[in-house]
Amino acid sequence: MGAAHLINFRLLVWGIVIIPALSQGGLKTGFYSSSCPKAESIVRSTVESHFNKDPTVAAGLLRLHFHDCFVQGCDGSILIAGASAEKTARPNAGLRGFEVIDDAKSQLEGLCPGVVSCADILALAARDAVDLSGGPSWGVPTGRRDGRISSSAEASSLPTPLDPVPTQRQKFASKGLDDHDLVTLVGAHTIGQTDCLFFQYRLYNFTSTGNSDPSINQAFLAQLQSTCPKMGDGSKRVALDKDSQFKFDISFFKNVRDGNGILESDQRLWGDSSTRRIVENYAGSIRGLLGLRFDFEFPKAMIKMSSIEVKTGTQEEIRKICSKFN
């Protein structure tokens, strides 16, 4: 192993992923190093402050960034308030973490007015959320501008818990993401939660047969039925990773492998030969390297996703307040 490879390997073991200074879409790491040197540290301290009060906000921030990027690209359009804004669309129900972005933006406007975009704050906050949850850290390419369109009608491109793999594949491919990216990004469910409402049908009336989804592990089925009774509260929260819901690790993939996936869309990844191979890779237990592959691949997939249809240069605007256009 050459010296450069050895250094990179050591940094990877320590949880830092090295990427080139320049990235896709005209973004680059350290974009604010001169114009607002404290930008990234302010976002980090803000996320950390909210995370320390409520660790579940980490998954909320990650989901917020994902939903932003899948509609109109990563341009902060999900943050806009309004009756017909993107955030009001049904697939965006339950999104949270807006207050964290607003908090960071307020501090940054006081320090560097009109410089740091809401879209970049969201991308940085998602990275910090993963890091604080015990996952990898990485250099986030920045330089996004904030979009000036936010429409609930355009949110149909978002993946849903009911999507079979071919539908998931098509939705990801339309954004330039392949099967490897798909499975890797869904791995973010290692720290997520959902409501009983979104998977209850799998427990009692799968495809209107009156039976449970046969892909659910039987022991786990009994546990889920106890947590989410047939006529129970559909808003009850359930961890998407039954083993370590606050730790960013590979147990989510082991759960999918063992029939313990919560959402149908997650469990279906095991039924498709292409996505199954990727799940198997991440769930593997090579002694001494457990989880290392996912820790390396997740940042790469995040950088790729966070470059979707970005606005840069003099395009669009830098919002003063993240919830409204200038």
Catalytic sites, residue numbers? 67
Measured between alpha carbons, how far is 260 from 269 in angstroms, rounded to an integer?
A: 12
Q: Is 43 annotated as a binding residue?
A: no
Closest CA to 187 of 121, 275, 274, 128: 275
Token look-up 């989510």 returns: 252
Q: Is 77 annotated as a binding residue?
A: yes
Coil, helix or strand for 21? coil
Q: Is 68 annotated as a binding residue?
A: yes
Structure tokens at 66: 């994902």
Measured between alpha carbons, how far is 27 from 70 in angstroms, rounded to an integer?
A: 18
Q: Is 146 annotated as a binding residue?
A: no
Q: Is 71 annotated as a binding residue?
A: yes
Q: Is 241 annotated as a binding residue?
A: yes
Closest CA to 100 of 43, 156, 150: 43
Q: Is 189 annotated as a binding residue?
A: yes
Q: How far apart, in Å, are the Cα atoms of 45 and each of 15, 105, 117, 128, 242?
A: 19, 12, 17, 9, 29
Measured between alpha carbons, how far is 108 from 42 in angstroms, rounded to an integer?
A: 7
Structure tokens at 98: 């807006």
Q: Cite the annotated binding site for Ca(2+) by residue number.
A: 68, 71, 73, 75, 77, 86, 190, 241, 249
Q: Cite the annotated binding site for heme b by residue number.
A: 189
Q: Cite the annotated binding site by residue number.
A: 68, 71, 73, 75, 77, 86, 159, 189-190, 241, 249
Q: Cite the annotated binding site for substrate by residue number.
A: 159
